[in-house]
A and B are shown apart, each in its own frame.
Chain A
Amino acid sequence: MDGSTQDILTVKKLQVNFHTFAGQVKALDGVDLSVKRGEVLGLVGESGSGKSVTALSIEGLLPQNAEVVGGQIILNGKDLLTEKQGEIRTARLREMAMVFQDPLTYLNPVLTVGSQILEILETDRRVFTPVVVAARLEDLNKAAREGTLTEKETREKASLEALLAEQTLGRREFKRLAKAYAVAILGRVRLPEPERMFKMYPFELSGGMRQRTMIAMALVRRPALLIADEITTALDVTVQAQILKLLRELKDQIDASILLITHDLAVVAEICDRVAVMYAGNIVEVAEVGELFKNPLHPYTQGLLAAIPRPDAVRGELTSIKGSVPNLIYPPSGCRFHPRCPSAFEKCPLSKPPLVEARAGHYVECFLYGG
């Protein structure tokens, strides 16, 4: 699982603990994960498996009581855990953006949608100057190709091209371009009447519209990696279908990789290229999506697939996995799934199984497959 150059993101042996009154929560137990350029990687697991902690670690948003005990997070060649703070911040700003489950927690209730987007851009004017200039130039170039460029626009085009080389832009000029760019992005996430949306407050929007706004706020940064954490979980199926459809469309337009975090295997089946299955702080299985659903190898993945009710067929007895997700203050020894595993044997409680390539491109962390 090397091939680092074709990966936009590589997470290696990431270990994260939380300090709490009840004890140390060993939330991530050596997470290995990579997102290839241009792919949608699904990260799937039940609640508490460590999906959000993984995402927060990548984004650098872990809370105060968290401690990264070990591992690497390599974003486009830069190690986010060792590089200088300034460098890391710029790398994160330029390369990735995140969308969360509950947009209301991340939207400022007293600012309009438009001013929130402008704020993102203006706070890091230097970083985003090339972005807003490039966006305007794309429009102008398109007009030029279509032969509809006015004289004024021709002059603007020339001066912007010069600016792009110098990388400087006056405050007012920046704001003008940023605004046009923001409105265009609101249109791109298919919000109706983007100019009007620009002036609206979060409370005036429906759940689906808020989530589109959050996606717009992520896209303005032109990220190479979009991390989406349970973004459709709080939505109705009909709205979920709209958002997933949007993500699929955007993926082709924006040329970004997507790390899609969800507890819902059906969502994974619908839009992901590859899947990583997480259980109690470990990635237990990774495969291309068709392969994973056809040949699940890890007993946990098998159990999960057997337990999902299907809307298109009736199953007699539903299969369940015995017990429940462990408390990570006292995680089970060895393979953390062994107390619930129907195939556990002597070796399982003794040591942690390594991630092995059991079939081509199909990795599993289970002693049944060697290690």
Chain B
Amino acid sequence: MSGVQSSELLRMEDVFTWFPIKGGILGRTQAYVKAVDGVTLSVRRGETLGIVGESGCGKTTLARTVVRLAEPIKGRLLFDGTDILKLKGGRLKPFRRKMQMVFQDPYASLDPRQNVRSALTEPMHIHGIVSGKNEADKRAAELIRIVGLNPDHLSRFPHEFSGGQRQRIAVARALAVNPEFLVLDEPTSSLDVSVQAQILNLLRDLQKELGLTYLFISHNLAVVRQMCSRTGVMYLGRVVEIGPTESLFERPRHPYTEALLSSVPLPDPTKRRLLAPLEGDVPSPITIPSGCRFRTRCGYATDKCAEVFPPATEVAPDQFAECLYDIDFAKKTKRELPVSSVQ
């Protein structure tokens, strides 16, 4: 794949990011936390791909792997056709500029001793995209306006801003180096609802104006539904279902997606439904169940699910699920799980 005319800006192929757990007196590796455990996906130019899933399923690790803050043990990571896992140092630097990340907690990603102007101009100098201080300052003033603040704010420090304003600054900082691709890890999770909408609108507008591509990570399914053209659902380190947001939400085909969606309360008292479809907790990412990793909590699981690894199957146009069964068929033949599955 040359990637020259490809609609894929980023492609992950069979990526594994495992963290070793050391122990014993010799400090040998005793096991691995399989945070990302064989992910294949692509992000298409100009789209917003959402990633949802429960806490600990590997969303942040996936994001960190993409921007090369976490080192995968295996896999290929193609940016515009180039496998950036093979690049180091100077050859990686231009790619680092093209991909920027915005974190959940803008307080953690902004240096408290650095004022906004230097937070914005520092990355410009690092990546040499401005020729001098004047140009950098001019660009900083422009950026701060783009994100809805004003140039007065440039000489202030992070603690002088509200959460929403800090997230605007974090976005401005990410934009400072003219990226093509933004990885947004829970960009509004620390914000109030009334402010969340401001940031989501800002991100949408910026995407339109600057032609950006987003990988948008969130545990909030409602936010993902509003923001993303396609959505991937992660469970224990794998993307178990991925497809166009509309059809995935309207007709989920993986039992986990179905359960996750029906756990979300609706802001509408005339539609009370809470089914609590899933019992128990997510298993540990150290000892992942054999076969289908969701089978221990799946209402439709059969003996075969413990033995066979479910391959990704196209279940609807452009929608793929890692499940052995057709969900409608599974529903019809559903056998009750024993009550002891609680735990």
Interface residues of A (CB under 8 A from B): 46-47, 190, 192, 206-209, 236-242, 244-245, 248, 263-267, 269-272, 289-290, 293, 303-305, 307-315, 317-321, 324-325
A244 touches B274 (CB 8 A): yes
**A238 touches which of B54, B164, B246, B249 (Cβ 8 Å):** B54
Q: In the assembled complex, which residues on chain B have CB atoms less than 8 Å from the CB atom of A244? A: 265, 274, 276
> A193 → chain B, closest Cβ, in Å?
8
A311 touches B263 (CB 8 A): no
A-B contact count (CB 8 A): 146
- Nearest CB to that of A306 among chain B residues? B197
**B192 touches which of A207, A267, A290, A324 (Cβ 8 Å):** A324
Knowing A46-B193, A314-B226 touch, does A320 contact B266 (C-beta < 8 A)? no
Interface residues of B (CB under 8 A from A): 54-55, 162-165, 192-198, 200-201, 219-223, 225-226, 246, 249, 259-261, 263-272, 274-279, 281-282, 342-343
A318 touches B200 (CB 8 A): yes
Q: How far is the CA of A46 from the CA of B162 in the complex (A)?
A: 13
- Nearest CB to that of A312 among chain B residues? B266
B222 touches A310 (CB 8 A): yes
Task: Give 10 closest A-B pairs by Cβ, nearest first.
Answer: A320-B197, A321-B194, A46-B192, A266-B265, A318-B197, A241-B263, A311-B222, A309-B222, A245-B276, A270-B265
- Nearest CB to that of B267 among chain A residues? A266
- Nearest CB to that of B272 among chain A residues? A270
Q: In the assembled complex, which residues on chain B have CB atoms less than 8 Å from the CB atom of A47? A: 192
Q: How far is the CA of A335 from the CA of B162 in the complex (A)?
A: 21
**A269 touches which of B220, B246, B265 (Cβ 8 Å):** B265
Q: In the assembled complex, which residues on chain B have CB atoms less than 8 Å from the CB atom of A239? A: 281
B266 touches A238 (CB 8 A): no
> B1 → chain A, closest Cβ, in Å?
32
Q: In the assembled complex, which residues on chain B have CB atoms less than 8 Å from the CB atom of A312? A: 225, 249, 266, 271
Q: In the assembled complex, which residues on chain A have CB atoms less than 8 Å from the CB atom of B197? A: 307, 309, 318-321
Q: In the assembled complex, which residues on chain B have CB atoms less than 8 Å from the CB atom of A325? A: 162, 192, 194
**B274 touches which of A192, A270, A272, A311 (Cβ 8 Å):** A270
Q: How far is the CA of A239 from the CA of B55 in the complex (A)?
A: 11
Q: In the assembled complex, which residues on chain B have CB atoms less than 8 Å from the CB atom of A311? A: 221-222, 225, 249, 261, 264, 266
A238 touches B263 (CB 8 A): yes
Knowing A269-B267, A311-B261 touch, does A324 contact B272 (C-beta < 8 A)? no
Q: How far is the CA of A173 from the CA of B263 in the complex (A)?
A: 44
Residue of B164, B264, B342 most packed against chain A (CB within 10 A): B264
Other than the given A309-B222, A320-B197, 19 more pairs (CB < 8 A) read A192-B342, A208-B281, A240-B265, A241-B278, A263-B192, A263-B193, A266-B222, A266-B265, A266-B267, A269-B268, A269-B271, A270-B266, A304-B194, A307-B193, A311-B221, A312-B225, A324-B164, A324-B194, A325-B194
Q: In the assembled complex, which residues on chain B have CB atoms less than 8 Å from the CB atom of A290? A: 269-270
B223 touches A309 (CB 8 A): yes
Q: In the assembled complex, which residues on chain B have CB atoms less than 8 Å from the CB atom of A266? A: 222, 264-267
> B196 → chain A, closest Cβ, in Å?
7
> B123 → chain A, closest Cβ, in Å?
26
Q: How far is the CA of A272 from the CA of B274 in the complex (A)?
A: 13
Q: In the assembled complex, which residues on chain B have CB atoms less than 8 Å from the CB atom of A206? A: 281
A315 touches B193 (CB 8 A): no
